[in-house]
């Protein structure tokens, strides 16, 4: 499946956001590791594990017809020889829409493989203050 080689974790991350903007499922999945131990959590969504669940979720998202622009900001990157963790804020806008979409804070984890750097985890959550607060929900610390 993965035919592109990403020499750095930053290259893989750039391809991830390019795939998201272009609504390109094949490029999106080329960024992901072919291992079954991959995990994806979309904002407000369930934990998805493995190739089938991750691919199905991106297929649904990217087939929605809306092409959003994504500006990544506030990147904090920690990396070693085999693993890189990027914490970012994703700022979405849709051409023609007056208001930007709510921001997302995301953690992207990349693994260095024989085929270059590949994503193994993407976890997105609504950025604080960007989503409607839940009403009448007890606060639980875990």
What does the domain layout of the chain look like in residue ranges?
Answer: 9-125
pLDDT of residue 130: 57
Identify whether the C-beta of residue 25 lies closer than 8 Å to the C-beta of residue 112.
no
pLDDT of residue 141: 38
Residue partners of 138: CB distance under 8 A and separation at least 6: none
pLDDT of residue 140: 37
Spell out a b/e string for 21-56, using b for 16 or more CB atoms within 10 Å of the CB, else e: eebebebbbbbbbeeeebbbbbbeeeebeebeebbe
CATH topology (fold) of 9-125? Nuclear Transport Factor 2; Chain: A, (3.10.450)
Stretches where the chain sits below pLDDT 70 are 1-2, 66, 130-142
pLDDT of residue 138: 41
pLDDT of residue 91: 92
């Amino acid at each position: 499946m993965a035919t592109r080689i990403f020499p750095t974790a930053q290259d893989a991350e750039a391809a991830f956001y390019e795939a998201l903007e272009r609504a390109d499922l094949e490029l999106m999945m080329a960024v992901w590791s072919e291992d079954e131990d991959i995990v994806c959590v979309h904002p407000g969504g369930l934990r998805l594990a493995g190739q089938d669940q991750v691919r199905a979720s991106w297929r649904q998202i990217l087939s929605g017809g809306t092409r959003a622009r994504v500006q990544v900001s506030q990147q904090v990157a920690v990396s070693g020889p085999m693993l890189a963790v990027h914490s970012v804020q994703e700022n979405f806008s849709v051409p023609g829409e007056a208001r930007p979409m709510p921001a997302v804070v995301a953690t992207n984890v990349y693994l260095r493989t024989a085929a270059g750097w590949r994503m193994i985890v993407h976890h997105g959550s609504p950025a604080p203050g960007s989503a409607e607060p839940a009403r009448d929900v007890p606060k639980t610390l875990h």
